[in-house]
Amino acid sequence: MGMIAVYMKVNDDKLNSLKKMNGEDLFNSIEELHESDDCKYIDIDKMWDGLHFLLTGNSASVPIKNNKLSEAIIGVNVLSEDKNTEFISYSTYEELKKIVNEMNNVVFEDFEKRFNPDVFNKSEIYPNIWNSADKQTLITELKESYIDIKKFYETDFDAKSNIIVSIY
């Protein structure tokens, strides 16, 4: 998988259009969407794998099927996957309702208590920043990324948006 994660809201028409694409056409369309003025998105930069590991105990490169916290970070349905350069997935509005419900049940402080940078290092969680000296800064960044994703999913929920996850 790539280096940074971007989450973008799309309507049904746009999602259906993207689902018909593949390869470079899909990647270019995702890039254009991200750069467009009317695209709502968030970028959690390099925290995606660490956040996935914190919430699930697995690297994002090993998604957990039907695990809503895993799906919150990497999406439900894969559109394109090249483990060396890019990963593009999506979650439909109906899937997001279940994901948000699960995210609302999370008590982040429980994950915070279990956070151990040494375990992240031994598990080779991307990026290579996990050290005990920065423990408080790292958990703060992970928590902020989690809150950002959760808020992003909940915002405009009545608009029934779908989410595209692009890790590149």
Range scoring the smallest mean pLDDT among 10-19, 26-35, 78-87, 147-156: 78-87
Q: 23: how many CB neighbours lie within 10 A of its CB?
A: 9
pTM: 0.93
Q: How far is CA 41 from the centre of its chain?
A: 12
* Beta bridge pairs of residue 80: 88
Specify the 3-state DSSP secondary structure of 20: coil
The dihedral built from the CA positions of residue 108, 109, 111 and 112, taken in this order, carries a sign that is: positive
Nearest C-alpha neighbor of 168 from the set 76, 73, 45: 45
- C-beta separation of 158 from 12 below 8 A: no
Q: How large is the average pLDDT for residues 58-83?
A: 93
pLDDT of 73-99, one tens digit each? 999 999 998 766 689 999 999 999 999
Assign domain 5-167 to its CATH superfamily: YfbM-like super family (3.40.1760.10)
Where do the domains of the chain lie? 5-167
**Residue 84 DSSP code:** T
Residue-level pLDDT at 84: 60
Residue-level pLDDT at 85: 67
pLDDT of 117-164, one tens digit each? 999 999 999 999 999 999 999 999 999 999 999 999 998 777 889 999
